[in-house]
Amino acid sequence: MKALLICEQREGKILDTSYELVAFADRLGAEKVLVLVGKEAPKVDAKVYLADVDKFGEYNPDLHKQVVLEAIHKENPDYVVFVHSSYGWDLAPRVAAALKVGQVSEVVNIVDGKFELTLCNAKLRRTVAPKGARAVLTVQAGAFNAVEASGSAQVEAIDVAGSSKLQFVGYEPAEKKDVDLGRAEIIVSAGRGVGKKENVAIIAELAKAFGGELGASRPVVDAGWVAHSHQVGTTGQTVSPKLYVACGISGAIQHLAGMKKSDFIVAINKDKDAPISEAADVMVVADVLQLAPVLMEKLRAA
């Protein structure tokens, strides 16, 4: 079984998720071959097809698709694997359509060689197996722990003739945020379990008592209870504070992807079986609205 791993870089820096794809292939027990439109190959003991980023652009769906199709032509892989990122969301279906094969999106685990996906806001999981001989997959960021960047790739340059009406112009820096969670040493995050907007103030106060910043899960942001700059997860910020306190957060894979590299994780949840318990160093089974005032009192007295 062979997996062609479509890696990503940004402005010369190989993204960590590329090494998550390697971990995915290793878990699958597949021979791995990597493809990157970039400058330097990932550090891995495997063959890497390297396409010149100056020629093909940081991103260009027409040209990058041609590069991937050329690598598929050379390697005849069983699986063509992308990260479930904005790059993968855009490119994977284009490749699947060109190959006329099915796509399995957002794989979070491998069980007996089949692919596990989440559904119902990550409350349930289902297992699927592609029917055809080949499939395109996207793998959820954070679902597989990245392998260490070490090894020496057998690099082969890949070039394709192709034209596109699109041109990569550049990245636009995000607006300056009111909070920089990336630098925070302590983050206390509010999840849907806090119940209503007014209760977020309690978690914000708790964050202050810890000397940290307020984070949030996506539903809390989507509901307009706090600004998006506080969101942690795949569509928010990736954080790695010394202490992360998750208040009323279930631990969906998209949230975990953004915070699981925290040094120490405390989860406060009414449900002892909430998935966050698997990532937490300490799981406090409690109503966070009852616990928070007690905790604040202790912290202030300390």
Ligand X SMILES: Cc1cc2nc3c(=O)[nH]c(=O)nc-3n(C[C@H](O)[C@H](O)[C@H](O)COP(=O)(O)OP(=O)(O)OC[C@H]3O[C@@H](n4cnc5c(N)ncnc54)[C@H](O)[C@@H]3O)c2cc1C
Per the CB < 8 A criterion, the answer to whether 34 and 119 are in contact is: no
Query: What are the φ and ψ backbone dihedral angles of 97, each rounded to 5 degrees?
Result: -65, -40
Nearer CB in complex with ligand X: 91/147: 91
Tell me which of 42, 88, 219, 241 binds ligand X, using CB under 6 A. Answer: 219
Min separation Cβ 118 and ligand X, Å: 7
Helix (H, G, I), strand (E, B) or coil at 240: coil
Q: Residue 162 annotated as binding?
A: no
State how far Cα 113 lies from the chain centre.
Answer: 21
User: Which x/- pattern, by CB under 6 A, does the window 33-72 give for ligand X?
Assistant: ----------------------------------------
User: Which x/- pattern, by CB under 6 A, does the window 112-151 give for ligand X?
Assistant: ---------xx-----------------------------
Min separation Cβ 165 and ligand X, Å: 29
Q: Does 234 bind ligand X (CB under 6 A)?
A: yes
Cα separation, 114 vs 239, whole angstroms: 30
How far, CA to CA in Å, does 71 sit from each of 3, 83, 152, 265? 11, 17, 20, 41
Query: What are the φ and ψ backbone dihedral angles of 186, each rounded to 5 degrees?
Result: -130, 130
Q: Does 254 bind ligand X (CB under 6 A)?
A: yes
Nearer CB in complex with ligand X: 35/232: 232
Query: What are the φ and ψ backbone dihedral angles of 193, each rounded to 5 degrees?
Result: -60, -15
Q: Does 86 bind ligand X (CB under 6 A)?
A: no
Beta-strand relationship, 2-6 and 79-83: parallel
Q: Residue 234 annotated as binding?
A: yes
Nearer CB in complex with ligand X: 79/225: 225
Per-residue DSSP letter, 11: T
Number of alpha carbons in the 13 Å side-chain half-sphere of residue 232: 35
Q: Residue 84 annotated as binding?
A: no
Q: Residue 231 annotated as binding?
A: yes
Axis crossing angle, helix 288-301 with helix 197-210, rounded to the nearest 10:
30
Q: Does 250 bind ligand X (CB under 6 A)?
A: yes
Per the CB < 8 A criterion, the answer to whether 187 and 203 are in contact is: no
- Stretch of residues binding ligand X (CB under 6 A), selected from 26-34, 130-138, 142-150, 265-273: 265-273
Cα separation, 61 vs 87, whole angstroms: 9
Q: Does 235 bind ligand X (CB under 6 A)?
A: yes
| Binding-site annotation, residues for FAD | 192, 217-218, 231-235, 248-255, 269
Q: Which residues bind ligand X (CB under 6 A)?
A: 121-122, 191-193, 217-219, 231-236, 248-250, 252, 254-255, 258, 268-271, 274, 287-289
